[in-house]
Amino acid sequence: MLGTTLSRWTMSYFAAALCALIGAEALMAAGYGFPSADLRAPETLFLVHLVVIGWLSLLLCGALLQFVPVLIAHPLHSNTLPLPALAFLLTGLAGLLGGFLQFASVPGSGLPLFPFATMALAAGFGLILYNLGRTLASVRPLPLAARFVGVALLSLAATVALGATFALSLGATISNPLALKITAAALPLHVAAGIGGWLTFAAIGVSYRLLAMFMLAPELEGKRPHMVLWLGAGALAVTILGGLGLLLTNESLLPALLLGGVLSLAALGLYGADILFLYRARKRRILELNSEMTAYALASLAAAAVLALTFTVFHRFSGQIGALVFLILFGWLTGLGLAKLYKIVAFLTWLECYGPVLGKVATPRVQDLVVESHARKWFFLYYAATWAATAALLASSVFVFRLAAAAMLVVTSAIIVQLVRTRLLSNVSGPVALPAGVRPPRLLICLPESG
Ligand code: HEM
């Protein structure tokens, strides 16, 4: 990673994402949306998109703007586009959430929020797709992790296209029969493309590389990770393209969803075997906190896969889908996101501050920017609260769920305090923190090397 160009706006993406996460956890603790409201209620749609666009997509976009160039050892196509993309995404998200509020019949002004949100979100995600797509297109052959990202970007395009169709139909902007047919039946495809294809597939690809990098384990490029790529991409193609085909011929989506599910489970099984291999083959015997906590996120993903299979076999899937999606969004994706942020914020801050003077003056190590013993208990409590919330959803206990969500809110805030301390170099004391030639980092933007 040394010699890498720093992505100027990645910290701003992370900050906006963390605000959305805190907002979502506060709403869950306050009893807004599922499980206090129905799964398809506008309040739940509000909450879900605050999490999947506001938190997870912004986090992933910020991370990919920094890491795609690292994955392919080639600079980002444009360093100018990330800022307007962020502005469009935030504006679009606000519009979409406003549209859901209008739907929930909170007195609104009757503004055409859904069409506005659709245009802004399409512009924001479009700029991200163009920028990352052009960057990936400049290298052949693509390394394995970058291929996962490529498939994830295609899935993001499908998610946004379906979401836009829904929003325009719900906003009564279009009345085309095909669009209405898609809106009536394609929700499972939107969810699979968004949570499975975009968020999970990108996380899997990036985790291969980050786990190897941070645990000093060998890079995996063999047959098994390629099988994960092909099975996963096949699962997405069967689900999204096959599902659309069935929908357009007035057939049930079930065969596409079942076949896609079987292929996904096979891909996840092989991915699990790869990750176990990486943990065992690592050279760094004592795990850093980020790798240790990633293991709990991976355990949540494995638990979600087992639960999905069990619910399908016992015909309980549709009754427990809320708990399952919650475990995937918070146990797997948020757990992984927070664990990796803990390292990435330290690493990027270190690179930004000390990279230019390395070898010229004495500098702290990356690990000096964090105090793992302080953060560890918060991470443990985060997983405990998330798993308790999942159990409460499985047992249909709204009260216990709200208590657990309140605990998640408190511990996430404590983790954010740790991230801010790392970013501001508060954990490094004495003159070694700012030797000659080092300027203090800014919270929200990374400044390129001053030389
Ligand atoms: C970027 C990743 C996205 C993910 C992971 C995602 C996920 C979801 C999920 C899980 C639901 C079902 C929620 C429920 O039933 O409670 C949903 C519904 C919906 N999404 Fe998204 N979404 C994404 C992006 C978008 C975008 C960009 C738009 C609009 C431009 C959008 C518009 C909608 C609408 C309108 C619905 C409601 C559909 C209906 O009830 O008929 N989504 N989405």
* % of the chain beyond a pLDDT of 90: 84
Q: Whose CA is nearest to atom 10 of ligand 1?
A: 191
Q: Residue 3 above 60 pLDDT?
A: no
Q: Is the CB of 179 under 6 A from ligand 1?
A: no
- Asked whether 341 and 333 are in contact (CB, 8 A), the reply is no
Buried b or exposed e, range 239-263, using 16+ CB within 10 angstroms = bbebbbebbeeeeebeebbebbbeb
Task: Return the pLDDT at 5.
Answer: 81
* % of the chain beyond a pLDDT of 70: 97
CA distance linking residue 221 with residue 244, whole number of Å: 33
- Asked whether 366 and 345 are in contact (CB, 8 A), the reply is no
Look over the chain and give the mean of its residue pLDDT values, rounded to a whole number. 94
Q: Is the CB of 170 under 6 A from ligand 1?
A: yes
Q: Is residue 234 one of the residues assigned to a domain?
A: no
Q: What confidence tier does 450 reach under pLDDT thresholds 50, 70, 90?
A: very low
Residue type, 258: L
pLDDT tens-place string over residues 168-210: 998 877 889 999 999 999 999 999 999 999 999 999 999 999 8
Q: What confidence tier does 414 reach under pLDDT thresholds 50, 70, 90?
A: very high
Mapped to the 3 state alphabet, what secondary structure does 11-39 carry?
HHHHHHHHHHHHHHHHHHHCCCCCCCCCC
Rounded to the nearest angstrom, the distance between the alpha carbon of 45 and the centre of ligand 1 is 7
Q: Is the CB of 364 under 6 A from ligand 1?
A: no
Q: Is residue 266 one of the residues assigned to a domain?
A: no
pLDDT tens-place string over residues 242-300: 999 999 999 999 999 999 999 999 999 999 999 999 999 998 889 999 999 999 999 99
Q: Residue 1 above 60 pLDDT?
A: no
Q: Is the dihedral of CA 294, 297, 303, 306 positive or negative?
A: negative
Ranking 100-114, 153-167, 270-284 by mean pLDDT, the lowest is 100-114
Task: Return the pLDDT at 4.
Answer: 65
Q: Whose CA is nearest to atom 9 of ligand 1?
A: 191
Task: Return the pLDDT at 121.
Answer: 98
Non-local (6+) Cβ contacts of 135 within 8 A are: 68, 69, 72, 74, 75, 76, 77
Q: Which of 38, 59, 190, 329 to mutate to test the pocket of ligand 1 (most atoms within 8 A of CB)?
A: 190
Q: Residue 2 above 50 pLDDT?
A: no
CA distance linking residue 23 with residue 132, whole number of Å: 28
Rounded to the nearest angstrom, the distance between the alpha carbon of 388 and the centre of ligand 1 is 26
Q: What confidence tier does 449 reach under pLDDT thresholds 50, 70, 90?
A: low
Q: Is residue 121 one of the residues assigned to a domain?
A: yes
Calculate mean pLDDT across residues 31-50. 97
Q: Is residue 241 one of the residues assigned to a domain?
A: no
Q: Is residue 89 one of the residues assigned to a domain?
A: yes
Rounded to the nearest angstrom, the distance between the alpha carbon of 79 and the centre of ligand 1 is 29
Q: Which of 34, 187, 195 to mutate to test the pocket of ligand 1 (most atoms within 8 A of CB)?
A: 187
Domain containing residue 18: 1-140
Domain count of the fold of the chain: 1
Calculate mean pLDDT across residues 48-71. 97
Q: Is residue 32 one of the residues assigned to a domain?
A: yes
Q: Whose CA is nearest to atom 38 of ligand 1?
A: 166
Task: Return the pLDDT at 108.
Answer: 53
CA distance linking residue 87 with residue 69, whole number of Å: 22
